[in-house]
Structure 1
């Protein structure tokens, strides 16, 4: 599915994800966590399709449950005691609630990073930071694209080893371990060679040299200006609301948060708008496209 937000200028994309990921890490109010995890799930599914649905259902939700269950086993703070563990430590409602909140925050950040990886390609990152921090931007770009390349190469190597009967699914346990070690050795060699070749290729092209120019198709136009203005206004209002404790919530020693007022509700709405900006852009572009087709 075409993502219109990824077609915006890299400054807009990076500014948005830097702001939204930072807010997702800081805002621990249950309403904020619900908003963040909901929109991150939806946008990741919009970008990655069935793979995101499978990843969210098979990995993210179980991780959410496990993380929420682990926290009460080690954290015993809180005044609302529900029961006592076999070790004699209290099981408190506050520790359970904080475990769920921390797990939701962790999962939403992972989902936002998956969206970031789909939108902020390596060429966008190098375009933004190539002149400022050329070496670091190259390393970060290689790291960000390493995981998908590693997975693709691992599938190729595993298929090749399976064709000659040396994969990890056949034979005795010792034979499987030996085959797995061989595959790991192949992948390690490929990884090191790929890093050396990439570095040598970029050096031969003069990457990082003073005065070097780079071709780019990115142009900051009026649409990008509107988008960055909307992100700044909505994000700024949300940050001001957070600074004024409109989204304050504590878990220990007892759960307590700010009363819901018209101002706090507007801050929550502003945060929801901030999280929904990519989806709003895509829906708007889809409506415009269908309207233009109907007029043909």
Structure 2
């Protein structure tokens, strides 16, 4: 299905992902964490279904279990003791905090995977090319290098295997040596590629004062509507942050603000905000289907 949300103006996309990622990092309330994790998974699955499922089962789920189990073993703060391990208390508060931290970390990773797919390097250069040209170029190179690193390391490893120096050939010491050699080749390639890119951009006059550049992005009526909707949804979330609706205390004892009518409104606004890409795509599909 065509991703209509990714076709919005880069400024709207940047505002959305910046807000959602920052909220996911700082809101440790269980309701906010559940909303962010669920919507982050749904949006990531809508963009790349197979990769999201593999990433979740291979990395996120084990990390969730490990972080939840390790935190109460290392952190013994908390008033409610569940059991003792080697004479050290395992508390309910430490267990819940470990689980919440793992959910927060998982949600942020999922949202960053969406960011990496939707906000491409050309959009970053468009947004910050005139304000901070060096920074925007650095960001675009980093985002572009991630998939290129994967392809290049496969090329290097296949070449090394052809001469009997692969990372899975020989004894454990020879494998380690071959792996370090592959990493050294990759690092050298990355540095040379970065220098070549920087010289190429400098030769084209990138970053010079008064330099104009071609852009395919135009702020149209759809972008304006999406921006207004985002701002409207952001207001209740900020209000909830200032009034403490998203606050929770884990130590020394668990304390959370009781659920009220206002808190339910804040939860609903945060859910609509996180689910906005899915709702936007669905609304456009329905509108275009009705116009046929």
Residue of structure 1 in register with 2:265 after alignment: 266
Q: Which moved more, 1:161-170 or 1:238-247?
A: 161-170
Segments of 5+ residues of structure 1 without an aligned counterpart are: none
Specify whether residues 247 and 185 from structure 1 end up closer, same or farther in structure 2 by C-alpha distance, changes over 3 A only.
closer
* Cα shift at 1:107: 0.9
Moved over 3 A (4+): 288-292
CA distance in 1, matches of 2:104, 2:117: 20
Residue of structure 2 in register with 1:58 after alignment: 58
Residue of structure 1 in register with 2:76 after alignment: 76
- State the secondary structure of the residue aligned to 1:91: strand
RMSD (Å), alpha carbons: 1.4
CA distance in 1, matches of 2:43, 2:151: 24
Answer yes or no: is 1:7 the counterpart of 2:1.
Answer: no
**What's the TM-score, normalizing by structure 2?**
0.96
Residue of structure 2 in register with 1:115 after alignment: 114
Q: Which moved more, 1:74-83 or 1:117-126?
A: 74-83
- State the secondary structure of the residue aligned to 1:145: helix
1:97-108 matches, within 5 Å, as: 97-108=96-107
CA distance in 1, matches of 2:64, 2:126: 36
Residue of structure 2 in register with 1:165 after alignment: 164
Residue of structure 2 in register with 1:252 after alignment: 251
* Cα shift at 1:166: 2.7
* Cα shift at 1:35: 0.3
- Would you say how many aligned residue pairs link Structure 1 and Structure 2? 292
* Cα shift at 1:69: 1.3
**What's the TM-score, normalizing by structure 1?**
0.95
Segments of 5+ residues of structure 2 without an aligned counterpart are: none
* Cα shift at 1:2: 2.6
* Cα shift at 1:204: 0.3
* Cα shift at 1:89: 2.3
Residue of structure 2 in register with 1:27 after alignment: 27
1:39-50 matches, within 5 Å, as: 39-50=39-50
- Check whether the contact 2:236–2:265 (CA below 8 A) recurs between aligned residues: no
* CA offset digits 1:160-215 (Å, max 9, x no partner): 32334332222322332332222112111110110000000100010100000110
CA distance in 2, matches of 1:82, 1:172: 46
